[in-house]
């Protein structure tokens, strides 16, 4: 897989007649959409600042390019899971504040301290980070994480006093600076759930405990994308925006367009086969889907090896301006759409452009066509695509899609 910064560049060409070059599979990243989405969140979160979450190669959109676009649009922080991801951004010349929060005993804390990367601390990491600070002869920058109910990393409430006290001892020795306190929400994408209120109360209590111990942080942060959109009382000093940065809605029943967001990735391919079938024709492994009447089936050469989740069955693929449902199981490198009675000339559909999501209405309507699963699952080619997707990727640095009206 190659990445280019030229708009509308073409890779992985094939020919239908030996002369006409077409794209077999392509993913176009619209950096203007990233900028637009960041500006939306900056306005929503103000006066809190925005952390653009660019982990997993920016959800497959290209970490360095997305990070730069997000910072240009007003994000003040960058967030990643692993220190190695932060170091790659530093190596690309990005010097904005950034936080890495997921570590193992083999994580390179020395490099993080040397590069000025903030490190999330749940408890056990504290001594390792302090050892790195001593080795580098410079104080580490840390954010203390408290588990308010998600049950993943973060100090337990029972251990919070101890973690805070130990961190303050090291800070008094000049070995670190407690830059932030943070936690993560479990069900903010379901606004009616009471657990978010419970987590918010626990987070406020953890902040109070830390402040009583003398902690004076620069940032307190709890809100993810759904909480940024729906819970202003959870904004504190900083919000962490992941899904929303890429134009994805975290809410069931509410699409990206309704939130004022623009999907940043458009995935296109070509119909590779088309044939008419009789009523009752089984489709794909398991034959779990059978046609309800005489129909036509179109074969799409994308599958879970390209990052399309198998649970995306039922979601639409747009061909010739119309959405058609994915039917049957999604295989490793192909899936099938039911074209119904739209096909009269099968050969005429061969090579037709198929859009999975992106600038076409497919992205905004993915929830409302058929019985698709939640959008963050069906929409996200992303983390897999950065490493395994066989689609060529192009960057659209600036400029809108043809016919697109300004949303900025």
What is the distance between the alpha carbons of residues 228 and 243, in angstroms, rounded to a whole number?
A: 11
Q: What is the DSSP string of 24-57?
A: SEEEEEEHHHHHHHHHHHHHHHTTSEEEEE-HHH
With residue 140 as reference, give the H or E element that holds it.
strand 140-145
What is the distance between the alpha carbons of residues 69 and 200, in angstroms, rounded to a whole number?
A: 31
55 is catalytic: yes
What residues form DSSP beta bridges with 78? 52, 98
State the burial class of residue 194 (Cβ atoms within 10 Å of its Cβ: 0-12, 13-18, 19+).
exposed
Are 103 and 125 spatial neighbours (Cβ–Cβ below 8 Å)? yes
- Cα 61 → chain centroid: 8
Catalytic residue among 5, 55, 145, 275: 55
Helix-, strand-, coil-residue percentages of the chain, each rounded to 5? 30, 25, 45
What is the distance between the alpha carbons of residues 334 and 300, in angstroms, rounded to a whole number?
A: 6
Write a three-state SS string for 201-262: HHHHHHHHHHHHCCCCCCEEECCCHHHHHHCHHHCCCEEEECHHHHCCCCCCCCCCHHHCCC
Task: Pull the structure tokens for residue 257.
Answer: 């367009």
Catalytic residue among 162, 285, 289, 324: 285
| Per-residue DSSP letter, 155 | B
Phi, psi (degrees; rounded to nearest 5) at 179: -80, -35
Catalytic residues: 55, 285
């Amino acid at each position: 897989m190659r990445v280019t910064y030229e708009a509308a560049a073409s890779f992985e060409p094939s020919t239908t007649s030996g002369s006409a070059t077409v794209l077999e599979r392509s993913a176009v990243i619209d950096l203007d959409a990233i900028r637009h989405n960041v500006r939306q969140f900056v306005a929503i979160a103000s006066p809190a600042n925005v952390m653009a979450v660019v982990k997993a190669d920016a959800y497959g959109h290209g970490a360095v390019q997305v990070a730069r676009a997000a910072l240009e649009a007003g994000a003040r922080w960058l967030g990643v899971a692993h220190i190695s991801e932060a170091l790659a951004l530093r190596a690309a010349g990005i010097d904005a504040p950034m936080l890495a929060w997921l570590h193992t005993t083999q994580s390179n804390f020395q490099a993080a301290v040397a590069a000025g990367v903030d490190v999330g601390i749940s408890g056990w990491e504290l001594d390792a980070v302090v050892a790195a600070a001593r080795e580098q002869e410079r104080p580490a920058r840390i954010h203390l994480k408290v588990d308010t109910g998600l049950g993943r990393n973060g100090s337990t409430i029972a251990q919070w006093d101890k973690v805070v006290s130990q961190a303050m001892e090291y800070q008094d020795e000049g070995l670190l600076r407690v830059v932030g306190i943070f936690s993560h929400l479990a069900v903010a994408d379901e606004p009616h759930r009471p657990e978010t209120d419970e987590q918010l109360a626990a987070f406020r209590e953890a902040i109070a405990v830390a402040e009583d111990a003398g902690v004076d942080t620069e940032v307190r942060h709890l809100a993810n994308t759904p909480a940024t959109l729906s819970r202003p009382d959870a904004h504190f000093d900083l919000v962490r925006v992941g899904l929303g940065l890429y134009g994805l809605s975290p809410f069931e029943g509410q699409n990206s367009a309704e939130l004022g967001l623009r999907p940043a990735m458009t995935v296109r391919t070509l119909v590779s086969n088309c044939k008419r079938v009789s009523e009752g024709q089984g489709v794909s492994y398991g034959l779990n889907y059978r046609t309800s009447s005489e129909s036509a089936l179109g074969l799409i050469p994308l599958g879970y090896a390209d990052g399309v989740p198998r649970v995306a069955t039922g979601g639409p693929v747009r061909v010739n301006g119309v959405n058609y449902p994915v039917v049957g199981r999604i295989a490793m490198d192909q899936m099938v759409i039911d074209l119904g009675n739209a096909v009269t000339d099968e050969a005429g559909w061969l090579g037709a452009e198929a859009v999975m999501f992106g600038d076409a209405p497919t992205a905004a309507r993915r929830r409302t066509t058929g019985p698709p699963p939640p959008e963050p699952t069906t929409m996200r080619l992303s983390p897999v695509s950065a490493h395994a997707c066989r689609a060529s990727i192009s960057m659209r640095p600036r400029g809108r899609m043809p016919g697109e009206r300004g949303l900025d």
